[in-house]
Amino acid sequence: MSKLWGGRFAKDTDALVHQFNASIHFDARLYDEDISGSIAWANGLSKTNVLTDVEAGIIIEGLEEVRQEFYAGKFEFQSGDEDIHTAVERRLMELVGPVGGKLHTGRSRNDQVATDFRLWVMRACDRVNLRIVDLQQALVDNAADNLELPMPGYTHLQHAQPITWGHWILSFFWPLARDSARVAQVRERTAVLPLGSAALAGTAFAIDRQALADQLGFQQISQNSLDAVSDRDFAADFLYAAAILGIHLSRLSEQLILFSSTEFGFVRLDDAYSTGSSIMPQKKNPDTLELTRGKSGRLIGNLTGLLATLKGLPSSYDKDLQEDKEPVFDAFDTLDITLAVMAGLVRTLQVQPQRLAAQLEPGLLATELADYLVKQGVPFRTAHGQVGQAVRLAEEREQDLTELTQEDLQSINTQFGPDVTEVLKVSAALAQRSIPGGTSTSALKTQLLEARRFLENI
Ligand code: ARG
């Protein structure tokens, strides 16, 4: 099999080595970016008179024909195709003849692959952000439907203070808002053009690199050719953004798994988003959520794998860098489906108000009692201790906090008045927290508005 670089070799590559060296089985998905990059390069070469206008025209037409073959699923790979760059060039030459051999003038696969991959990641960022926004929209809709629905709030997974379902579910909106901002930043950092760096030293032809950048949609050109062919920060950035996004999805999943359990029963998953057991007829399992939780592990693995690959690489291009693409492709594919599944799951989630209400026990109101004393001038630390005594008293008697009489409370602090019953209500506890970010109706309406505004500005 003939290789584009075969001139100096007296022997064919060992078959296993060819297989080992080849990346076509995964980098074929860069075909669109590779062809766009080559068209821009052909334009650049014609402006510097390396190609005549006629030659550039033939090459560009040929490249568009190759692109159409890919679009139509008719591109035929050959056993000698090592990677997408050699495959496209091989096919181009079949279509246009020897003039196709002029395309690679002044360029290397090193700057070519870095350019292709960056273009691909830029598109991937846009796509991931569309998916994030869709999930955020689903969360906002669910929050709007259940904005004031009271539920127990937890810390350490123990009853803490009353909150509302809308408050709870919006707490997963804002991490996604940070994710989408992060992904947009990754896109910006990725939009730096390496093309023109050639193998490592820069091309010897007077190519207008800024024009290449403009044509391909890059925001800047790279400043150092050695750095440009080896910089994979953008891939690591993408993988970090993917990993933390995966962690956010995993945390939402974990909580919904718990909430959909028989013991909690706060939510029911739609049949379309759950699966059954092959042996236990009654089972409805949250496999979708468990997979989302599980896949966060591989997203983290993709990041750490690439970081380990990059560590210790000598200056400029090394073949280790070919290991950059699979983790990024995998992270993208994982997120692309996971985000879509999660959006559907949230859209069909059935919240169970009576199950939430059943858990609103008076212990959640202990802080209200302490705040009541504070409003009578008692230092908070003293109030905390005294309410603790009240809690202990109720516990000893196997009573609820609200079942303590006024005499009981006054035996601890005489400042407990008859109006104390007013504060020992879930509705009162919620209403107290009208501070921005809090759980009162007014605060939540503002938060919902802010969430919607965020989505409108995307
Ligand atoms: N398939 C290679 C990669 O993904 C393309 C660059 C090859 N460059 C080289 N000098 N062998 O990194």
Kindly report, residue by residue over 184-216, the tens digit of the pLDDT: 999 999 999 999 999 999 999 999 999 999 999
Quick: pLDDT tens for 77-105.
Answer: 999 999 999 999 999 999 999 999 999 99
Fill in the amino acid letter for 122: M
**Ligand 1 test: best mutation among 27, 29, 229, 319, most atoms within 8 Å of CB?**
319
Residues with CB under 6 A from ligand 1: 23, 27, 83, 109-110, 113, 317, 319, 321-322
Mean of the per-residue pLDDT values of the chain = 96
Q: Give residue 5's pLDDT.
A: 76
Q: What percent of the chain has pLDDT over 70?
A: 100
Look at residue 1 in the predicted model and tell me its pLDDT.
55
What is the pLDDT at residue 2? Answer: 67
d(CA 448, CA 458): 16
Give distance in angstroms: CA of 34 to centre of ligand 1: 13
Length reported for the chain: 458
Q: Whose CA is nearest to atom 12 of ligand 1?
A: 322
Q: Whose CA is nearest to atom 4 of ligand 1?
A: 322
What separation in Å is there between the alpha carbon of 367 and the centre of ligand 1? Answer: 63
At residue 276 the predicted structure's pLDDT band, cuts being 50, 70 and 90, is confident
Are the C-beta atoms of residues 67 and 32 closer than 8 Å to each other? yes
Place of tokens 């076509």: 24
pLDDT score, position 59: 98
Find the 25 Cα to ligand 1 centroid distance in Å. 14
Give nearest CA residue, ligand 1 atom 7.
109
Residue 229 pLDDT > 70: yes
Mutate to test the pocket of ligand 1, among 322, 326, 328 (most ligand atoms within 8 A of CB): 322
Indicate the pLDDT class of residue 281, thresholds 50, 70 and 90: confident
CATH class of 110-358: mainly alpha
Task: For residue 371, report the distance from its CA to the centre of ligand 1, in Å.
Answer: 66
Q: pLDDT digits over 325-380, tens only?
A: 999 999 999 999 999 999 999 999 999 999 999 999 999 999 999 999 999 999 99
Asked whether the predicted pLDDT for residue 3 surpasses 80, the reply is no
Cα gap 408→404, rounded to integer Å: 6
Q: Which atom of ligand 1 is nearest to the CA of 5?
A: 11
| Statement: residue 167 has pLDDT above 80 | yes
Q: Distances from the Cα of 71 to the Cαs of 32, 75, 127, 221, in angstroms?
A: 9, 8, 19, 29
Percentages (nearest 5) of helix, strand, coil residues in the chain: 65, 5, 30
Ligand 1 center–CA 116 separation, angstroms? 11
What does the buried/exposed string (b/e) look like for 286-318 if buried means 16 or more CB atoms within 10 Å of the residue's CB? Answer: bebbebbbebbebbbebbebbeebbeeeeebbe
Closest atom of ligand 1 relative to the 117 alpha carbon: 4
Measured from the Cβ of residue 354, the count of other Cβ atoms closer than 10 Å reads: 7
Position 278 scores a pLDDT of 82
Contacts of residue 166, defined as CB under 8 A and 6 or more positions apart, other chains included, come to 143, 144, 146, 147, 148, 149, 444, 448
Q: What residue owns the CA closest to ligand 1's atom 2?
A: 322
Q: Atom of ligand 1 at shortest distance to CA of 82? A: 1
- Give CATH superfamily name and number for 6-105: Fumarase/aspartase (N-terminal domain) (1.10.275.10)
Distance in angstroms (rounded) separating the CA atoms of residues 129 and 127? 5
Q: Give the C-alpha separation, 271 to 252, whole Å.
A: 19
d(CA 248, CA 267): 19
Matching fold, domains 110-358 and 362-424: no
Domain boundaries, given as residue ranges, for the chain: 6-105, 110-358, 362-424
pLDDT tens digits along 373-407: 999 999 999 999 999 999 999 999 999 998 999 99
The CATH classification of domain 362-424, taken from the options 1.10.40.30, 3.40.50.1360, 2.60.34.10, 2.102.10.10? 1.10.40.30
Kindly list the catalytic residues: 156, 277
Ligand 1 center to 82 CA (angstroms)? 9
pLDDT, position 6: 78
Task: Report which protein residue has its CA nearest ligand 1's atom 3.
Answer: 322
Q: Report the residue among 83, 112, 309 best suited for mutation to probe ligand 1: largest number of ligand atoms under 8 A from its CB.
A: 83
Q: What's the CA-to-centroid distance between 51 and ligand 1, angstroms?
A: 25
Checking if the pLDDT of 62 tops 90, the result is: yes
- Tell me the C-alpha distance between 353 and 422, whole Å: 23
**Cα–Cα distances in Å, from 210 out to 116, 178, 218, 360?**
16, 32, 9, 63
What secondary structure does DSSP assign to 12-80, as a single string? PPPHHHHHHH--HHHHGGGHHHHHHHHHHHHHHHHHTTSS-HHHHHHHHHHHHHHHHHHHTT-----TT
CB 229 within 8 A of CB 114: yes
Q: Tell me which residue has tokens 């402006």.
A: 47
- How many angstroms is it from 182 CA to the middle of ligand 1? 29
Q: Rounded to the nearest whole angstrom, what is the distance from the C-alpha of residue 41 to the centroid of ligand 1?
A: 18
